[in-house]
Amino acid sequence: MTLKEERLAFDAQPEKIYESALLTFTGVEGFDVYNCSIPFAWQGETYILGRVERRGEWARSWVRLFRRVGPDAYTVVADPMTVWQLEDPFVQFFGGELVMGGTHVRKRAGGQIDTYYGYFYRGASLGDLSYFATGPDRMKDIRLCPLADGRIGVFSRARGPEIEKRYGSGAVIGFYAIDRLEELTAEGIERAPAIGSLFGRGEWGGCNQCYLLRDGRIGIIGHKSMTDDADGKRLLVYLNVAFIFDPVTHTATAPRVIGTRKSYPPTPSKRPNLIDCAFTSGIVLRPDGKADLYSGVSDCAEGRVVIDNPFEGLL
């Protein structure tokens, strides 16, 4: 089954989506908030990191910290130390320490994009995170995860013409392990051995949030993408997917669709070619055994849907 066929088959089963909502954000009026981290608990409160950007601008965003004040409602934390010039944040915990990462875009004097990197911060206080590493040139969606043996798993995402020529797909996800956060380097990330058979020709994608499972494998909530020509327009299609990676055998299950743009409420779109874009954030388990799946939608909002736990019995 092609990715397009899998998307159509998923959309034909609306009963797989039990609830659908959009998040609201206050304190940043005039800006969109999208492509967020998952919500996370910290010292008795629940927070989320969101990409904040004006609708008419591109690659000029900040990551801001928001505190939950109600169901699907968040307000900005007014702390000058919780503003980062990044895109598409993620969070992960290692012991009592929080690690936050995102994409930093570097521009030329004329405003054109020169390149971009993953930036990584760490700390035991949300208002005092320290920069500690930079990823490789032009690589987004680098993610970290604790491993069963105490080490740290690192997932890369290389893409480009050379990758497509070598692997037949627009991107590959790589994986390697480090002993300490201090060992995270651009050179190590770039050398991460590729995980085979995740994407087909004309597809690309990456990891968005990683979870250590009870059997020592890693559950990945990610995105899988393609282009689709519809009504004479070329759309960028981003889908929410889940798969499981075994760090011992360096193999993965086939990614399966767990959400599409149609799973979330309607919104405007930042650009016409992004009307079918659902850029995954991750999942949070619910008391009823299901999962809240969070995702950016059409690059202008953040949505939440309730789905079956994609790692049932393992997470």
How far is Cα 261 from Cα 237, in angstroms, rounded to an integer? 8
pLDDT of residue 111: 86
CB 173 within 8 A of CB 207: yes
Q: Full-prediction pTM beyond 0.95?
A: yes
Residues 6+ apart with CB under 8 A from 222: 173, 205, 206, 207, 208, 209, 240, 241, 242, 243, 255, 280
Q: Quote the tokens at residue 209.
A: 């949030």
Structural domains present in the chain? 3-307 (2.115.10.20)
d(CA 35, CA 229): 24
Which pLDDT does position 196 carry in this prediction? 86
List b or e across 36-51, with b for residues whose CB sees 16 or more CB atoms inside 10 angstroms: bbbbbeeeeeebbbbb
Residue whose entry in the numeric block shows the structure tokens 């999942």: 283
pLDDT attached to residue 168: 87
Q: pLDDT tens string for the chain (315 positions)?
A: 899 999 999 999 999 999 999 999 999 999 999 999 999 999 999 999 999 999 999 999 999 999 999 999 999 999 999 999 999 999 999 988 999 999 999 999 988 999 999 999 999 999 999 999 999 999 999 999 999 999 999 999 999 899 999 998 989 999 999 999 999 999 999 999 999 889 999 999 999 999 999 999 999 999 999 999 877 789 999 999 999 999 999 999 999 999 999 999 999 999 999 999 999 999 999 999 999 999 999 999 999 999 999 999 999
